[in-house]
Amino acid sequence: MALSPRDKRAVMIFGGVAGLALVAFLLLKVLGGGGGEETAAPPPTVPGGTTEPSPTTTPKTPRETLPPVLLAGARDPFSPPAVLVSASGGVSPSSSGTSGSVAPSGTQGPTSSPTAPSGGASSTIGSRTVVLVDIFDSGTRAQIEVDGTVYTVDEGEDFDGNLRLSSISGSCATVQGSGDSATICLNPQK
C-alpha cells in the first residue's frame, strides 16, 4: 500500500517529534545526572595530624501526628451484626426465641453482648443474672445469657466459669452453680 503525500508528511512530522523527545530524554536523564542531593565524602584522616571537624547536620523535626479518629459505635460496618455471629465465628440465621428455631452452630462460647436480658425469664445464681434465651436441637442444646454474654451449651456442659446446664425439660432448663440451682423457662410460668 502506497502512502499519500499527506500521510508521508504526517509520518515525517511524527518521526521528528519522537526524535526530539528521545534526545531530550537522553540529555536530561543520562547526561544531565541524577539531580539528586550529593553528599561530600569525609576528609581523609592523616596519622598524627589534625582533622578538621566535619560539618554538623541538623536532624529534621518529626511532624506532629494526630490521634486516631474515634468512630461512633466503634463497629466495623462490613462485619456481620453480633446477633448473627455464632461462637465458632460463622454467620447463622437469627433465632426467633421459640423452641425449634434455627440457632447458631458451635459449642460453648460467648456469641453476643446485649445490655439487657433477652428471651425468657431470668434468675439469679450467685451474683449473676441468668436468662434462658432459646432451646434447640430437639431439647439437647440451649442458649443461655449470663450477665449480658450469650453462651450456646449442650445439656451437661459447663460454661461461664462454674455454671452447668444440668438438664433441659420441654421449654425449661435447669442451671446449677455455686451451690445454687435454678429452673428457667422460655415462657415464664404464671
pLDDT digits (tens, 9 = 90+) for 141-176: 989 898 889 999 999 999 988 899 999 988 889 999
Lowest mean pLDDT among 24-28, 76-80, 102-106: 102-106
Higher confidence at residue 89 or residue 46?
46
Higher confidence at residue 155 or residue 76?
155
C-alpha distance from residue 190 to each of 12, 103, 148, 175, 185 (Å): 100, 27, 25, 20, 11
Tell me whether residue 20 is in a domain.
Answer: no
pLDDT at 99: 40
List the domain range (segments joined by +) for residue 132: 82-185
What is the number of residues in the chain? 190
- The number of domains in the chain is 1
pLDDT at 77: 67
In sequence order, the 6+-apart residues with CB closer than 8 A to the CB of 97 are 118, 119, 120, 133, 134, 186
What is the three-class DSSP state of 27?
Answer: helix
Tell me whether residue 49 is in a domain.
Answer: no
pLDDT at 177: 87
Tell me whether residue 142 is in a domain.
Answer: yes
Single pTM value for the model: 0.38
Q: Which three cell numbers stand for residue 68?
A: 486516631
pLDDT at 76: 66
pLDDT at 170: 86
Tell me whether residue 67 is in a domain.
Answer: no
42-56, 58-72, 128-142 — which one is most confidently predicted on average? 128-142
Higher confidence at residue 112 or residue 188?
188
Q: How many angstroms separate the CA atoms of 111 and 153, rounded? A: 11
Tell me whether residue 159 is in a domain.
Answer: yes
What is the three-class DSSP state of 112?
Answer: coil
